[in-house]
Amino acid sequence: MPGSVGRGAVVRLDPGQAAAVTFSAYAGAGRSWHGPLTTPSRVLGLEAARAVYYRRPSPYTAPEGLDAQHGGFAVAQVRHGLGGILAALPDCLYVNHPHLNWGAEYKPRQISAAVRAGLEVPPTLITNDPDAARSFAKKNGPVVYKPLRSTDYKEDGEMRTVWVRQVEADEIGDGVAACPHLFQQVVRKTADVRVAAVGRRLFASRVTIDGDHLDWRLDYDRITFAPIDVPGPVRHGIHAYMDAFGLAFGAFDFALDRGEAWRFYECNPNGQWAFVGDDTTRAITKALADLLEKGRPA
The DSSP bridge partners found for residue 43 are: 4, 38
Compute the average pLDDT of residues 105-121: 97
Q: How do residues 16-38 score in pLDDT, each as one tens digit?
A: 887 889 999 999 999 999 999 99
Residue of 293, 290, 236, 242 whose CA lies nearest to 262: 236
Model pLDDT, residue 2: 63
Residue 5 has pLDDT above 60, yes or no: no
3-class SS letters over the chain: CCEECCCCCCCCCCCCCHHHCEECCEEECCEEEECEEECCCEEEEHHHCCEEECCCCCCCCCCCCCCHHHHHHHHHHHHHHHHHHHCCCCCCEEECCHHHHHHHCCHHHHHHHHHHCCCECCCEEEECCHHHHHHHHHHHCCEEEECCCCCCCEECCEECCCCCEEECHHHCCHHHHHCCEEEEECCCEEEEEEEEEECCEEEEEEEEECCCCCCHHHCHHHEEEEECCCCHHHHHHHHHHHHHHCCCEEEEEEEEECCCCEEEEEEECCCCCCCCCHHHHHHHHHHHHHHHHHCCCC
CA distance 12 to 35: 17
Spatial contact of 205 and 227, defined as CB atoms under 8 Å apart = yes
Q: How many CB atoms lie within 10 A of CB 164?
A: 18
Model pTM?
0.89
Residue of 223, 220, 193 whose CA lies nearest to 205: 193
Model pLDDT, residue 3: 53
Residue 126 has pLDDT above 90, yes or no: yes
Apex 283 CA angle, 246 and 44, nearest 5? 60
Least confident of 74-83, 185-194, 204-213, 246-255: 204-213
Spatial contact of 94 and 100, defined as CB atoms under 8 Å apart = yes
Residue 10 has pLDDT above 80, yes or no: yes
298 confidence band (pLDDT: 50, 70, 90): very low
Residue 59 has pLDDT above 80, yes or no: yes
Q: What are the two backbone dihedrals, phi and then psi, of residue 32, each rounded to the nearest 5 degrees?
A: -85, -165
Q: How many CB atoms lie within 10 A of CB 157?
A: 5
